[in-house]
Amino acid sequence: MNISTWQAELSVDSRCELGEGPQWHASSGRLYWCDILGKRLHWHSPATAESGHYLLDQKVSLAAPLDNGGLLLVGEHSLTRFEPDSGTATHFADFEADNPVTRSNDARVDRHGSLWLSSMGKQAEPNAGSLYRLHRGKLEKLRTGLTIPNALCFSPNGAAAYFTDTPTGMVMRWALDDQGWPIDDPVPFADFSNHTGNPDGAVMDSQGCLWLALWGAGQVVRLNAQGQVIGRIDLPTSQPSCPAFAGADLKTLFITTAQEGFTPDQLAQEPDAGALFSVQLDIAGLAEPPLRLT
């Protein structure tokens, strides 16, 4: 099979310890992403090339745009409404607040404007994580016994969700009903258990193909509807964590990276680890709806 290849370029030298959760906020023209371990929320405006960050009081893994303005921060022990203009944060709901072992991890808004979000052990404790759906303000648990839940994304028609428990190397496909709730059990979609690198964050494009970060491999791969690799982006750093489409035409793929666990020698070999990278594509992303809380 012919595999298309691209080379990612440095976009913002954010030097995150654990960059994660890139999310395009179309109404403000900003891409937001998090340094989970550094407790920072970063932003970048592709149109103006401006960028900056906010300091946070907890580990946050996603800033989801809300349909009535502002952001919902997915944090290690709470969900918080955040107003970027003023920096005001307002508690919305607890999130595993009674469990000191876990923090939030991957999250993404589905086709119905609901938020899927996951937890994991702060030391990646086996089976400590869970998967939830926040639907119209009510948080419901979908799955438990996960270690590092990742790769949350959704088919263009909303009929399927995708996710992985990273240590398994297996990306799963989960059929959804017309309200976006899971049907039956998830089934295997793509197997990376014998591949260099582990499946991490993912996003869907407008053609129904899934772009998957391979942590440890320095790659983001594009998978077709059959789970076959049909494209590859190479990065100059080994720990890409999650991709997201952004920009007015949704043809720029941004990729967060990390330097988590690096020794000084590794940092010297990968000086851009933790930065935000980008690739210009002739493939458009899939516009994601803002989060509805009511």
Written as six digits, the tokens of 1 are: 């099979």
Q: What is the mean pLDDT of the chain?
A: 97
Round to whole Å and give the CA distance between 57 and 90: 12
Tokens standing for residue 2: 């012919």
pLDDT at 121: 97
pLDDT tens profile 73-98: 999 999 999 999 999 999 999 999 99
Confirm whether 200 is a catalytic residue: yes
% pLDDT > 70, the chain: 100
pTM above 0.75? Answer: yes
End-to-end CA distance of the chain: 46
Q: Categorize the per-residue pLDDT at 291 as very low, low, confident or very high, splitting at 50, 70 and 90.
A: very high
CA distance 117 to 103: 11
Q: Number of H helices and number of E strands within the chain?
A: 1, 25
Please report the sign of the dihedral spanned by the C-alpha atoms of residue 277, residue 278, residue 279, residue 284. positive
CA dist 143 and 118 (Å) reads 9
The angle formed by the CA atoms of residues 281, 287 and 293, to the nearest 5 degrees, is 150
pLDDT at 37 over 90: yes
Dihedral of the CA atoms 228, 214, 290, 188 (nearest 10)? Answer: 40
Q: What is the C-alpha separation between 193 and 159, in angstroms, rounded?
A: 26
CA-to-CA separations, 196 to 87, 199, 240, in angstroms, rounded = 41, 10, 13
Report the C-alpha gap between 217 and 42 in whole angstroms. Answer: 24
- Contact assessment for residue 149 and residue 199, using Cβ atoms and an 8 Å cutoff: no
Whether the CB-CB separation of 155 and 208 falls below 8 Å is answered with yes
Longest dimension (CA), the chain: 51
Ordered structural domains, the chain, with CATH: 4-280 (2.120.10.30)
pLDDT band at 2 (very low <50, low <70, confident <90, very high): confident
Residues 115-127: tens digit of each pLDDT: 999 999 999 999 9
Predicted pLDDT at 1: 73
Q: Point out the catalytic residue in the list 35, 200, 205, 272.
A: 200
Torsion of CA 50, 19, 215, 185, to 10 degrees: -110
- Sheet of 198-204, strands arranged across: 4-7, 229-234, 219-223, 210-215, 198-204
